[in-house]
Structure 1
Amino acid sequence: MEQRYQEMEDRAKRGEDISQLQVPLEAVKQTVTVPEDKDPRLWCLKTFGNEQELCIKLMWKAFEELKSGQTVPVYSVFHVPYVKGYIYLEAHREADVRRFTKGINGVSQYTGLSLVPLDQMAGVFSAAVAHAQKVKVIQQGDWVRLKRGPYRGDLAQVAEIDDDSHTLKIKPRMSGGQVAKNNKKIFPPKWFHKGDVEATGQVVVNVEPRRTNQGWKHFYVVDGELYRDGFVYKTFRSSAFVFGSDVRPNEYELADWRNAPPISEQVRPPRDLPQSKEEEDRERMPPPPLPVRKDRGPILEDGEQVIVHSGDLKNLRASVTKAIFGSPTVLIRPLNVDVTSELSIANSRLCKYFEIGDYVTVMSGDHVGDAGHVEQVELGPSKTWGSHATARILTADYSSFRASLNDLRRSRQKPESHQKVGEFRVGQLVSWAHLMGTRDQAGDRAMVLGPNARKTYVSLAELQPVQLPRRSIYKLHSWCEDKKQHRLVPGCVVKAPQSYSGGFPVTSEVLYIHQGWVFLRAIEGLVGERAYLVAPGDKCEYVWDPDDLPKGKGRGKGGQRMKIKIPEKTEEELSSKTSPREGRFFWGWQGGGEEMAGACRVFIY
């Protein structure tokens, strides 16, 4: 816009006529409607009757005035169902509201009229629209699922709608000539066939005409139930079934409906059989598919991470700060960008953002309720984020499935962990690149703990177990010095710093030593995965070594337990145990006394 205005100014300086030039307003996209000074104000009016009926009366009055050629000073009138006793009118002046509502029973023109603040007008409209979008409307051909009776849980389709009565067609549940009429008679579903019913000789199949929205139709009648085309037609109120997004027909149910019996005298009375080829082809058409939902963007919540997939801010990562249900826009705060203010952006331009290793829960779709780790994020051939992006989720039972990114949500629950997976176990020393291992996660991934207390997720295929020598040989060649130049070996007890919390030193057992780094397991204060630590050897303090304790059962004469006293080591004893290769840290090696090289050792906890 600045460039266009600059061009207009340059043309005016050159003497050109710019009166016919206009700035294309469609190029400016506004994501939030903000009331301006010239816009009408919103007024809140107290009522003493049904709010919906009063709104209808006011709209009818406006219709009559427009029909007679008069000017209506009120632009809109509405009510919010959860705000009882009030309606909202949009007008410029208070006098216009009082004049327009004069003569309407249930409305007071002199008390209870207040002006909605300018900064709250957008919120009132958004709340009304959000509540209106929650209302579900049943239409003919919609899928529903019954909630009670012998057909509880069965899939059905709306055939006719008459006020609050809905005629549904369902796959029958009948055995022989007996029909499922209550919870005591629940038979397996079976398509209606006139020959099979008459073969039992217990019931009589009659033919009766019934009036429908498409005219008069004939039905087979068995024990008071109407059958046609293999289905049973029953009438229910809307409270007897669920509809909309709560139905979610399964693939096998849709396939079963597509394989309904063909049109013949066994499923339809002869009077209604198609007489031409076109009518027969029209009758054989499958049931209508599920209604296509318009892509209005993901359903976001406060705190979720998103990424912009279109527009000027493409590939911008952000965190949602405020999301209103039903609102077409959300407020986001950019991440990794020196911007402190919030941005308002359309919901349809956002996509949820996940990284490999995130623990997520599926909120909708075929795998709703399942949880697992993000194993792979697939962006499609275009390599761009959007509603088409999917993720491969690894579950606790080692299986994987795919789900849309917009159907996922970061889970607050703790992921399930295992103590052992294959040849790997918790507390094992492994080799991988330049990091250390941690705990086994569900599937083929593990969390590893490396130098500098770094944690990361890695694939078990990238890890290799380290073959350690016998304990005595391993303690002889794997050692380092603490901050007081005491010799530390695997198995001894030390005071180790809590590198991730900066608290008091914690008593820990030395598990492994590698290149000056000591891998520890706390024996007091910390439990679970937090009990595993890594710290430099010169930051620890030697306490004692269990190998220096007296051997035996520890009982003296008279069966009384002997008190164990940890002997204090002299400088000569310490120096005698020090290897001549001072300053070098070795793993178990094979021959030649060479230091083991290659990949860095990692530790799974």
Structure 2
Amino acid sequence: MASREYIDDDDEELPDASDLGRSRQAVDDVEDDEERDSEEDEDEEDEEEEEEEEQDSGRQRKRVKRAPKRPKAHPREFIDEDGGFDPSEPANRRAAADHIRYDQQRELNERDLAELAQDYKDRYQRSAARYTGDADQVPQRLLMPSVNDPHLFQVRVKIGREKELVFSLMRKYLDKEHTNNPLEIFSAFQRDSLPGLIYVEAHDSKQVSTALNGLVGAYVSSGIKLVPIDEMSSLLKIKRVETTVQPGAWVRIKRGKYAGDLAQVIDVTENGEEVGLKFIPRIDLTPRDDAMGGGVDPKTGKRKKPGMSIPTGRPPQRFFNVEEVTKAYGPRSVGRRQANAYVFMNDTYKDGFIEKDIRLTGIQTDNVNPTLDEITQFAGIHGEDGAHRTDFDLSAIAEASRKSATAVLQPGDHVEVFEGEQTGVYGVVESISGEIVLLRATHIEIEGQKIEVPARSVRKRFKAGDHVKVMAGKNTDETGLVVSVTDNVVTFLSDLSLQEVTVFSKDLREAAEVGASTNTVGNYELHDLVLLGADSVGVIYKTEHSTFRVLDQNGQTRIVQPHQITLRRDSNRAIATDSQGHEIRVRDNMKEIDGEMRKGQVLHIHQSTYAFLFSREISENGGVFVTRARSLVSVAPKGPGAGMDLSKMNPAMKGGGMVGSGIMTRAPRDRLIGVHVMVTKGLQKGYVGTVKETNGNLVRVELVTGNKVISIEKDKLRMKG
């Protein structure tokens, strides 16, 4: 039996207890390293998952540079080696992982808020730069000028040239801005409330004098005054006038076709910028073809819309009448809105008035002073059924008249107390203090006593036989004898026209002078046809002290002075053709075939197109009106042979006799025309010229010096040679 070989294991080296302990620690270290690696892998996986989620949501986030992680303290570093295995170690690891995730989520949230703030900043940065905010508001006291700022100098200039000089300074400053000698001023301005003065901003008065040197109208030699610092700001203050308009108030329109017309306020808008007005319309009842939509634009070839034509003149005031308008413009031109309201050319007409919204800046609210004629027009309208209206409220007129009467009272006026305790007392005004009038009574019972009464309770007193003069209104400067007095309305007989004129007593005063017995001012008389310009003529319908009132061929009235009239025209031999082809001559009685159907005697004919007529039945413009000759017809019918014989105008059609025997005779040519003359009197004394035209006693002379044509009387000339 073979003996088993005995292997002695004693030769092998076995680890001792210390080596065994060290190997166990190494194993634990390896396990700890593996655990750290696994935790780091989990963290990286979490980060990758979060990045994928961010990419899926479409949000681009910037990578946040993370701080290097500190090595985690292993649980065994806090546990005694001899303590053995700690069963709670996995729970600690889970808690640490939860804290890490919480920190990461917080960082993500903070990053979201930062990016959101950056987005808002980028989006609103431009608008924020425009809006300065309350931080730029500077207290008013810090904006006041000081001694270190440029000074303000006052310079006297010619009245009426203030704005022109300010603009001249500006142009002069711009011309010299980039030269070697620029103007050393900062600004210049003027105030309308301070006529004859301009203000220049500079450091020294010499700089102002240099800037104004050479400008005509600046009185530098009279002195340049320094404006005190405390008064500089007041020169630039703008005083805003608050205008309040109440329904029922009277106003006047400033611009347009209705400029100067009286209107009454209906209502006011909520913002107070527009007011609803009613006033008497001005409708042209003799329109041209293009005004009724029958014209064609020569440029575009398209048919014009109704009402788009350029008006030839200012039509007279007349209340809206449906029948007249439809007859002139067609039945489709007027639309009905209510029982008594119509629409014509986009305007609303009610009870004969036009109702329109106008901006507050386009009306005049102060010093309206409606005249009695205007008030009569407003009060004397007729309704749709033709009945006269008597429900017109005159309280607003009475109040306006009472307020304006206070302003026209003067010491020496004869007045009467018409309300209050002293009603019926009359006397003479001694003095006026604000709203109180001191009068000396001339009443029999209290004659000589002085009484104080409110100014609004007195009115001027006139009696029949007094000679008065109109101070305001349409009949200004007209004089006459008082015929009757009713309350505050006075009727007098005019010295010029010998017609009765009715006005308010507040617009009158006693007149010692008597009105002129003739209607002549200078070399021109009433109803003369005068040349106002190159293509404008008119007829004088009223003469005043030094001016005329003229009605031109477009129906517009003007106020002109004698030196503005170029020449007086003679139309005695002028001929025109009426609507039936008959001749129209001066002094023929004609009537209109459309429109207002006015009648009158022909005063003048201009260019065989326009006819000026006069009618005593018309009070407007002194009875003078203008119309086209083609819209007239003779009052007395003419026979078929009364037409114009055109054969007389052509000498070739005249049989027998000398050629030209059928031509109308002309006045002989004045021998003075073409003669060389010398002026012997007046401003042009000594000037030499040639006579170009004669008209009665007036001669038009073309001067040799300057080729200027003047009008002068014959007795101031003598023939040269």
Assess same fold via TM > 0.5.
no
Between Structure 1 and Structure 2, whose CA radius of gyration is higher? 2
- Bigger RCO of structures 1 and 2 (CA < 8 A, at least 6 apart): 1
Give 1 or 2: higher helix fraction: 2
